[in-house]
Each structure stands twice: as structure tokens, then as C-alpha cells.
Structure 1
Amino acid sequence: MSLRPAAAPLRACSLVFLAALAACAQRQALPNDPTGRLFARGLDEISDLYIAPVSSRRLVLGAATRLSRLDDKFSVSETPGPDKTYLVLSHAGSEVAAYPIPSHDDPHDWGTLMGQMVASAKAASPSVAALPEDQIDKTLFDGITAGLDRFSRYSSPDVARDQRAARDGFGGIGVTLDTSKEEFRITAVTPRSPAELAGIKPDDRLVAVDKVPTAGRSHSDVVHALRGPILSPVEVTVYRPSLAQNRTFHLQRELVILPTVTVSRDGDIAVFQVASFNQNTTQQIVEALGALKREMGPQLHGIVLDLRGDPGGLLDQAVSLVDVFIPNGPIVATVGRHPASRQFFEASGDSIASQIPVVVLVNGGSASASE
């Protein structure tokens, strides 16, 4: 992972305005507002956990220039004064606010300054004030992560929630939807899920959730309607083409962990295609491998683990999967600046397939845990 300097072309500002700007900075000093806390927390996490030391000052100065992407009339300049340097925010050529640049590279101070700049930008620009908070946050955090490396990125709350659900599971009914033909066709039903137990089948069309039609709604909207607290009720109406009629099911949401493993056979070779590593990945492979060993016995001559295009996921699942195949010895070690990043994993001695030849397939899309 490499460090790349953030592009932060800061415009110069005439010193004639410095006294007025210094007074403005006093008026613009805000309490520790939620936006400031958000940026402070993000910078604090980067400072603690990033693989190499990084300057909060450099990240914020780079992010501040992204305000012009929200309203192209904004500009940011760094202006030296008699006793300190100011970060000046201007709109359409007029100075909006000036903030004393923190004397120390403290993530909290720089995060607070970033929050103050956002508040000033909203006050100066009606178009920015009208934007969703998530859009503002993402624009500026994208500016922060641009100063790190090409693999570091910001996930919005909705994206982070979906990523967490994919890793750890969620309250749902256990169906996979395809909307490519402007209808919500059920393409797969998770084994032992509420949907399967109730009798919902692949190729059913989802037409309503809790009596609200799905027509005209986005995929994300319908998916989030199906999800909810575990044990909560949900009413689902589907159209079954084979019967040419609707059917309504009253279900109770359960913990659903999406399948990440596809199992197939190529003669005497078992092929496990792993899409990602979530809470159930190793268990899926263990169960499938056990069934194949019972079915094929000594005729099972090899295993292919296909990790091509697997972006990774939970490290502990990758470790436990390796543990299935090797009887002893080290598996992996992780090292970083933060003490919690220093971990060492070795085989437990409970492998169930150590005598079977294994081939692992990877490509440029294999990353993180799959590596």
C-alpha cells in the first residue's frame, strides 16, 4: 500500500483582508457539532489504523478543495498572518470565513475545522445547503481518502450497512431478486430460510411487500423493505407464473447469511467457487465437502478452490478455511502500526481434507482475505 500526496492547489489571498478575516474566524468558531465529530472520528481512525503515519493537515487541505465540486464558486486558500496561518473559504470571490490552522497535527482539531467549513459552506450556498448530508460527507471524505492510496475509500451509511449485512447477515426472508426486466423476479431462495420454508420458489415474481406494490420502486428500496429486525413479521405477495395467480405469505424474518459458495463437480474433482468470505463461508464448504466425501469416498481425487474475482471479506473465515486443508503450521500473520493489527494464526490440527490435493485459482480480482 502506497502513500500518494493529495492534490491541494490553494489559492493566495490578499493580506489586506486579514484583520477582517481574523475577526470572522472568531465569529465562525462553532461548537463540536455532529459534522465536526464525524470528520474528527474519521481522521482519528486513519491516524491510528493506517499502515503508515499520515498528516491530518494534508488530508484536510486536500479535502477542502473538494467543496468546489459541490458548488464551483467555492475556493480555499491558505493565508499567513502575523502570528498564525488562516484557512480562508471564499464564495464567488468574496471571503466567507477564515479559520486559524491548528498548530499541531491533531485529528480532532482538523476534523472540527472541517466541520466548521461545511457549516460555513451551507450558510453561503443555498445549493450546498439543499444537498443530502451523505452527499456532502462522501464528497469530502473522497478528498480525504484521495490522500491515502487507491485502495482506501469512503463508504456511505447505506453502502456500509449493505456491506455489513453481506458479511454478518441480516434479518430477512432469504430471497435473491433480479430486476433486469423491470420486474422483481426471485432467482434464488436461501436453503432453510423463511421464504423456502413457506413455499416461495425461484421464478416467483415479488409484487408487494406489506401490501405496498413493488412496481416502480428501486431494487434497493424493495430489498430494504424485505429486511428488518429478526423475528419481526412481514407480508409478501408473489405472482407464480405456473399458476397464473398471486399468493400471499405471512413470514417472520430470521437471520439470513447469504450463500457465498457454489459447489460443482468435474469428474472426480470437487470445485468450490467462493464469491466472498462471510460468516458462513467455511461452514458451507465443510458441509459440502462432507457430503461429497460420503458420496464419492476414495474417488474424490482433488479439490479446486476458485477464488477468482473474490474481493475478500472476513479474515477469520479465510483462516478457518485454510485450517480445513492443512494439518499444522502457520497460516498467516498480520502486522501494522496499531497493536490490534498484530496477529498470528496457525493450523489447529483439525483439518478434514489434508490428504486431498488442492489447487487454488486466483486472478487480479482476488484481494484481501482471498489472497
Structure 2
Amino acid sequence: MPAPSGSIRATQDSVEVESLASPPAELERNTLFGALLERQTLELREWAETDPLGAMRRAGLARFKQDRLSLQRAALEGWARQDPLAAARYAADFALEEREGALFAALRGAAIEPEGALQVMDFLVEEAALEGAALRRAKLSLVSALAQHGHFGDAVGFARAEGEAAQRAVLLEAGLSQWARFQPEAAVSSAMSIDNAQEREAAFSVVTATWGGVDPGGLAEFADELPKGRQRSEVMRQALQQWVARAPLEAAEWMEGREPAAELDTGVLALATHPYLAERSPLVAVSWAESLWDENLRANTLSLVVKQWAATDRRAAIAYVRESPEIPLAERQELLALFGEPKEFGIDGSLQR
């Protein structure tokens, strides 16, 4: 049998991947050219801040069209950092098929200062005559660029000023999701200051969804401070679902210190059915299942966990089913029948000898 081109060797502490084949020469060339283009892009962006026309001329000498466009847009970004309107006017003279990309590059560069970015946006509307889908894309590019430069309040402020409701929702999501990654509590405050109730709720959901993806533990702490109600329960559900998926031990430690509650059930369920616990610590999985607040969910989860347990330790699982007061009679009889065990309980639940 021929030797494989690669092998995976498992060790006690790690899995080591060994490749027996050299990377293709074409891949090496592409990687080299990509690194070279990236370096040239950075250099031209910096050069354009002091000599924009020289940088643009240099970008225009690129051999391939796609490289030329990348370098020209980098130069326009650098130029717009120092002179936003001059860069935008230069970009407006590009050929039609390249014009939008050039204008957006100037807009991104200008976003280093909100005032300059807004000047470029006014230029795009009044002089470059962008409209329709192109204008909507420009507005989204502006909000994203402002947020990337840390001007979160300006990005969201621009979004809130948008007159078209559908576009406003898109812009708010772009601005608030970026803000929530770095300053989630400030993003929450901004979202909650929106007057329209429907838009306020949607904005709040954007922030908490992003926050949960970045720092689920922080979101859980935030949810713990909210007043009782639907909003608190929903935020807690988001937080615990993400937290258990990313750091189950941390999430478990946080939940252990709390009394069972409906709002914790999402996290408790995720822990009780976690594959690691099912395989390695079924008793721990069972204990989490027992702490579920909702009775039906608790019974169904216990049944599931016990079935998983029986796959690795049938005797222990059956003993638990016989002795646990947490499993309702009907489910207990069903599980015993599933395991091929005789029914030892009467209709009233009493033990039959």
C-alpha cells in the first residue's frame, strides 16, 4: 500500500500533524506576491499622506489591473487622511467601473476624523451625485469606517440620522455591533436612547448578541443586574448559551452559586447535555439536569442523560433510575423497560418486591 502524503500522529498531550509533501511552487509564489503587495499597499498609504500625486503615479505603474486598483485605493485612503475633499475629487475622475471603489477608498481614509468623513459624504451626494444602491453602500461604508477608527458615537449618530427606516436599521446594526465589541455597556446606553420602541429593541438585541459572542461572561453579569422580565431572561439565555459553548467550566462556576431559576435553564441544559460530561462525568451531568427549573424539561433531560449514561455504564445508570426521586414514575417505568429491567413499582409508585 503506498505511503500517504501526510500522517496524523496522536500523542498523550497533543495531536501533531506532519506533512510529507512540500508546498507547490505556485503556492509559494502566490504567498510571496501577496506579501509583497501588502507591503506596497502599506507603503503607498503612508507615502500618499505627504506626496499624494507621487503615490498615485506609482500605484498606476502596477503590472496587473487588480494590483493597480488595490494600490490606488490604498493611496487614496492615505491622501484622504490629510486632505479628504482633494482625494474624493481625484477619485471622482476615475473610469466609471473603477469610480465607486476609488470614492469609497477616499471615504474610508477620511473616516480617521469624523468631520472629514462627513465632508466626503456630502461631496458624494452633492457633486459625485451618488444615488440609489451606490449611495446606500457609501453610507454603510462610512458607518463601518468610522467605527473601525473608534468613532462609535459618530457612526451611530450618522446611522440614527438616516431618514429611510430600512437603511437606518442596516446602519445601526453596523455601528452598534462594532461598538459592542469594544465598549458594550456604552453601546447598550446608545441603543436604549433610541426613541422608537421597535428600533430600540432591535438595536438592543444587536448589542447583546455581539456582546455575547465576545464576552458572554460579561453579558451574563449585565443580565444579572437587569430587572426581572422578558428582556432579562432573553439576555441571560443569550449569554449562557454562548458561555457554555466557549468556556463551560467558567459558566458552571458562575451558575453554581445561584438558585435554580427559569432564566438559567438554557445554560443548565447546555451543561447537562454537554458531550464531555456525558462521556466522562455522567453523575455531574445528571446533577445539572436535576437542577433544571422547568419540570418537563427536567424530566426529559434526565431521561436523555440517563440513556447516554447507560451507553457507557449500564449498571450505574439503571441504579440511578431506580433510586432517583427526580424521575417521574411514568418516565422511570419507561426507562426500565427500555433497559430490559422488570417493573418494580406499582401504580402508586410503591416498590413492589
> Quick check: TM above 0.5?
no
- Greater share of residues in strand: 1
Q: Structure 2 length as normaliser, TM-score?
A: 0.27
Q: Structure 1 length as normaliser, TM-score?
A: 0.26
- Greater share of residues in helix: 2
RCO higher in 1 or 2 (8 Å CA, sep ≥ 6)? 1
Q: Which has more radius of gyration?
A: 2
